[in-house]
Amino acid sequence: MPIFKPGVDHRNLSYHITGKYNDIDEVHQNIVGREAIITSGRDGRHMANSRHYSGLAIDLRTRDILFKAEELVEALKNKLGNNYDIILEYDHIHLEYDP
């Protein structure tokens, strides 16, 4: 199970996200060797129509794993499938349910 940065609002996230926690963490453990860290859920500042606000997106920490971030994104895409958009941003991985 991923861990949450203190202050992250992970209440009322969609099952499309919470139901994938084990898959996300498994991929993260295999590539990075530790739990995934969720840095944003329904909190934070995002674009006006962001899926964060409807509980359909999370962000994952990359600052300490930049050397593995691209590999992690590709592995998450393969594991979660086409209903998920997984985007490497400059300081995090954005993961959203978007069928």
Q: What is the pLDDT of residues 43-95, one digit of tens each?
A: 767 677 788 778 899 999 998 888 899 999 999 999 999 999 999 998 899 99
**Overall number of domains in the chain:** 1
Model pTM above 0.85:
yes
Reduce the DSSP state of residue 44 to 3 states and report it: coil
**Residue 61 gets which letter from DSSP?**
E
Domain at 57, CATH number:
3.30.1380.10
Q: Are 73 and 92 in contact (CB under 8 A)?
A: no
Residue 61 domain boundaries: 3-97
Question: If we measure between CA atoms, which residue out of 70, 44, 71, 66 comes closest to residue 57?
Answer: 44
Pairwise CA distance, residues 40 & 18, whole Å:
13
